Amino acid sequence: MSIQSLLDEVEILKQEYDKFERGNKSAGTRARKSLQSIKKIAQDLRVQIQDSKKTEGEE
């Protein structure tokens, strides 16, 4: 996972949420799916950062 994948997913969320606000109910479902993906990507990045910190501390 990378920061770019997080930013891409945020852009998708923005587009779908805008559609939802204009009354497209199915865009709300896609926005929620995007939020779930953002959550997973963020967690993966947190673990990656923590592992990197641990590795640097061992050297």
Instruction: Report pTM.
Output: 0.84
| pLDDT of 59 higher than 70 | no
Q: How high is the pLDDT of residue 51?
A: 93
To the nearest 10 degrees (0 to 180), the angle between helices 25-58 and 3-21 is 160
Cβ atoms of 34 and 12 closer than 8 Å:
yes
The tens digit of pLDDT for each residue in 9-58 reads 999 999 999 999 999 999 999 999 999 999 999 999 999 999 998 888 77
Cβ atoms of 38 and 16 closer than 8 Å:
no
Q: How high is the pLDDT of residue 57?
A: 73
Tokens representing 8? Answer: 């891409």
The DSSP annotation for 8-55 comes to: HHHHHHHHHHHHHHTT-HHHHHHHHHHHHHHHHHHHHHHHHHHHHHHH
